[in-house]
Amino acid sequence: MSKTVELIIDGKHYTFPVVEGTENELAIDISTLRDTTGYITLDLGYKNTGATKSAITFLDGEKGILHYRGYPIEELAEKSTFLEVAYLLIFGELPTKSQYEKFTDDITKRTLVHEDIKKILDGFPSNSHPMGVLSSLFCAQTAFYPESLNPNRPPDGVYLSIIRSLGKMPTFAAWSYKNAMGHPVNYPDNKLDYCSRFLKMMFALPGQDYEVDPVVARALDQLLILHADHEQNCSTSTVRIVGSSKASIYSAISAGINALWGPLHGGANQEVIIMLENIRKDGGNITKWIDKAKDKNDPFRLMGFGHRVYKNFDPRAKIIKKAADDVLNKLGINDPVLEIAMKLEEVALKDSYFVERKLYPNVDFYSGIIYRALGIPVDMFTVMFAMGRLPGWIAQWKEMRDQNEPIGRPRQIYIGHKKRAYVPIEQRQ
């Protein structure tokens, strides 16, 4: 017999079904709660609220486990490629060789963007943050592909939007950087693989040869895999909720880019490097900064530490820490902030404040060090996260659509004034 849960309100008994996931996570299905009892649930920050049933990513924050479609992240990061992982997330299975070749080829044919995009880009001042530029260019695709506004698009139309999104994202990302630099944009070189193409668009300068370093391209590919999905986080929930109104996929993803931008989410990678630099400039006194992070009267938090769902090591952080070491070694770079990061981690992990609250380094703690070693400027870190997260957003948007989920619309407990009469302006105090 399936499990149920009983709720007693004012002596009346109500029964609710329990839903069990593949990995035995349990949820109380309260979808009839308001109709049957008149109550709603209140859960600020949705800390205990399941918004959907999803078959894409499994995450056990207590044990530090992360799987994409059942495959452990460690194995994918070591053996797979970003586009293979993108296919897996979006379509549910690893591609066969011919499926992979077609998918890669379809994406490669859609790397070019409409020339008018350049006019939009020209409208941005060159000190614009690349995340704002990226989300605007992404949303601008609704103008170039108005058919994406049709909520009942047939599957081939949806497929086209998906590969256009994956194809054009690196072009938009590199162009947002070129805009910040005040440099002319580079066009995609379709002889190259996904990451090498992006790097060339980012770094090639007029009149100069640019050879992509395979170490750099592989490191970037691995970072993108590690960022590719993370179930119902802030930006992904945003994508699903915007998509649930049946807005275009481009506007839903653009909204996800904006949600990712904040320093508590994807923007943390940028903040980590700024923090590590500040600690270095300040003389490298780790204890002083740890004390600041613990002081409730100080707004400072240890950026790259803590996570809503991981109460153990973030498995991505473990891989990234090792990759940071490898990349710096291979490229022969000695970054003093890596040492500060390692010391900070060591001290924090022994400190009772962090131990009691189960605060561990997250994905953003070491990723910035790799991005820096790859030559990527700080303002672009969150753009890199967005490039990595794109297949996850697409997969989640597609799942929400395929499951025909209702429009996302939470309720609230109103705590404002009770009904009162309008006072004409002359009579107001």
User: Which stretches of the chain bind ligand CMC, using CB under 6 A?
Assistant: 45, 230, 233, 264-266, 268, 293, 301-308, 357, 359, 362-364
Residue with Cβ nearer ligand CMC (74 or 189): 74
Residue with Cβ nearer ligand CMC (45 or 283): 45
Burial track 115-153 (b if 16+ CB lie within 10 A, e otherwise):
eebeebbeebeeebbbbebbbbbbbbbbeebeebeeeeb
Residue with Cβ nearer ligand CMC (41 or 150): 41
- Nearest distance, CB of residue 259 and ligand CMC, angstroms: 10
Tokens encoding 15: 């029964």
307 as an active site residue: the answer is: yes
Residue with Cβ nearer ligand CMC (47 or 409): 47
Q: Report whether 178 contacts 205 (CB < 8 A).
A: no
Beta-bridged to residue 66, according to DSSP, are 59
CA 379 to chain centre: 16
- Nearest distance, CB of residue 48 and ligand CMC, angstroms: 12
Which one from 364, 379, 402, 417 is the annotated catalytic residue? 364
Which one from 67, 227, 230, 307 is the annotated catalytic residue? 307
* Residue listed under structure tokens 């035995």: 24
- Nearest distance, CB of residue 365 and ligand CMC, angstroms: 7
Residue with Cβ nearer ligand CMC (212 or 293): 293
- Nearest distance, CB of residue 10 and ligand CMC, angstroms: 32
* Residue listed under structure tokens 């948007």: 397
Per-residue CA distances from 116 to 119, 143, 172 (Å): 5, 11, 13
Tokens encoding 267: 């923007």
* Rounded distance between C-alpha atoms, residue 104 and residue 181, angstroms: 30
Largest Cα–Cα distance in the chain?
Answer: 80
Name the residue among 27, 15, 39 with its Cα closest to residue 5.
15
- Nearest distance, CB of residue 336 and ligand CMC, angstroms: 21
* Rounded distance between C-alpha atoms, residue 217 and residue 332, angstroms: 16
Nearest residue to ligand CMC, using CB? Answer: 306
Amino acid, res. 206: P
Residue with Cβ nearer ligand CMC (188 or 267): 267
29 as an active site residue: the answer is: no
* Residue listed under structure tokens 């918004």: 51
- Nearest distance, CB of residue 227 and ligand CMC, angstroms: 8
- List the catalytic residues: 307, 364
